[in-house]
Amino acid sequence: MFEGFKDFLRTMGVDEALGLAERASADDPRVAAAALLFHVGEADGAITPVEMASLKAALAEEFGLADDEAERIAEAGREADQDAVDLYRFTNVLKNKLDEPARIRFVEILWDVTYADGTVHELEDNTIWRVADLLGVSTRDRMIGKQHAARRRERVE
């Protein structure tokens, strides 16, 4: 299931002949994902270095990006998030481009980035709840994703 998500994201119909700067808009699912990852990571006031590393690693892995490309997409996501007035623009892009299993997987990625620093602040938890709701991810699937991310974090420690 997750390989299908990765394959889908890698073949989003982006014209590879265009430069990355030309493609990196909030309507690009990669940028929308990065913006949401930043928004959740910064919900508690600041994104920690370990959360930032997790965010970039998730972008690289899920979208099949080289490190420098993941860095540029992450920066485009940060800028898009700073310019946004709400989360709908980003969740709408992902909801229209991703099927249900891929949206559930994305919510799990949000949890992974949040757990990267070892704690989940109540504002991060609430923000993931709002994102999941906008993506049409059920409470059950959101909580299962949280449990999976927590278990993965425990194995790292």
Q: Which domains does the chain have, with CATH numbers?
A: 2-13+21-156 (1.10.3680.10)
Band (pLDDT 50/70/90 cuts) for residue 7 is low
Taking the model in full, what pTM does it have? Answer: 0.83
**Residue 2, Cβ neighbours under 10 Å: how many?**
11
**What's the CA gap between 48 and 30, in Å, rounded?**
21
Token representation of residue 89: 């623009």
The Cα-based distances of 55 to 18, 119, 126, 140 in angstroms read 24, 15, 18, 24
User: pLDDT digit string (tens) for 10-69?
Assistant: 544 443 433 444 445 778 999 999 999 999 999 999 899 999 999 999 999 999 999 999
Confidence of residue 98 (pLDDT cuts 50, 70, 90): very high
DSSP of the chain? -HHHHHHHHHTS---TTS-HHHH-STTSHHHHHHHHHHHHHTTTS---HHHHHHHHHHHHHHHT--HHHHHHHHHHHHHHHHH-SSSHHHHHHHHHHS-HHHHHHHHHHHHHHHHTTS---HHHHHHHHHHHHHHT--HHHHHHHHHHHHHHHHHH-
* Mean per-residue pLDDT, 95-105: 95
Angle, CA of 70, 74 and 78, to the nearest 5°: 175
**If you average pLDDT over every residue of the chain, what do you get?**
87
Instruction: Give the pLDDT confidence score for residue 18 in this predicted structure.
Output: 36
133-150 pLDDT, tens digit per residue, is: 999 999 999 999 999 999
Separation of alpha carbons 149 and 108, rounded Å = 7
| pLDDT mean over 87-98 | 95
